[in-house]
Amino acid sequence: MSTSTSTDTTAQFSAFDRTTNIWGPITLGLGLLFSLAAALYAAFGTGMGVTPLELVTAVGAVLATFGIIAVIEPVSYFPILGRSAMYQAFLIGNIANKLLPAAIVAQANLGEKPGTRRAELIAGSAIIGAVLVHITTLILFVGVLGTWLVGMLPAPLIATARSYILPAIFGAVVLQSVMAMKSRRTTIAAVIVAAVIVFAVVPLAPGLTYFATALAVIITIAASWFARSEDPQVPAAESTETSQATRISEPTH
């Protein structure tokens, strides 16, 4: 009976992977085409007078600033989200401040570590839930009440609140990641490396400002690897899983 269940689970995951491999690139490609079409039409179809040289210059400036992030983010997010959830996340956007925290919290609450098939399914479900909640609250609280509320607040209060929005978002993401990972050594290494990069390396070498994130990520990965525990303890409760749960928790390929 367990062999039959495991075979059925494997077949279902194979079908799921085939569907993901087909529709994931298609949906991302369509999203890219629509995004570029809208931007190109705004630049050249509305009489704004944007020249091709200006467009190339602007694209080059953006790539110089955010190009490294375009490499770091997929590599950093994949172990947590998995393949199918990665397609969802990069098509939707707002990964760091909305989708990734939702996936991390869902995986932590359900007791599943990132990197397994079950964690991938949990991340995809969490992203769907986050999008539904986001759209609903956006319509109600931003579309209906947002403009009215902002108009009632004094300008100095709004300016003060804006200065704390970004730190609050990243602070929540960091805390959720630390709580889900539950690795003291990795947390300490990440905090020390980030502090050294921000308060020592960047002030001494301003030319590395745009590469600070990449340096922090790479050095943190290396430091965490060397500081890892050589003899991890596996709780006894985790060693008694059913055959189906073991199949679901196989590493994402």
Question: What is the Cα–Cα distance from 80 to 102, expressed in whole angstroms?
Answer: 11
pLDDT in tens, 57-104: 888 877 776 777 788 888 888 888 988 999 999 988 888 878 888 999
Residue 95 to residue 15: CA distance in whole angstroms: 26
Q: Give the pLDDT band (50/70/90) at residue 30.
A: very high
- Confirm if 5 and 240 have CB atoms less than 8 A apart: no
The answer to whether 104 touches 81, Cβ cutoff 8 Å, is: no
**In this structure, is the dihedral angle defined by the CA atoms of residues 197, 191, 102 and 239, taken in order, positive or negative?**
positive
Which sequence spans correspond to the domains of the chain? Answer: 1-50, 69-165, 183-232
Question: If you ran DSSP here, which 8-state letter would residue 228 be given?
Answer: S
- Position 244 pLDDT exceeds 80: no
> 149-183 pLDDT, tens per residue?
877 888 888 888 888 887 887 777 777 777 766 77
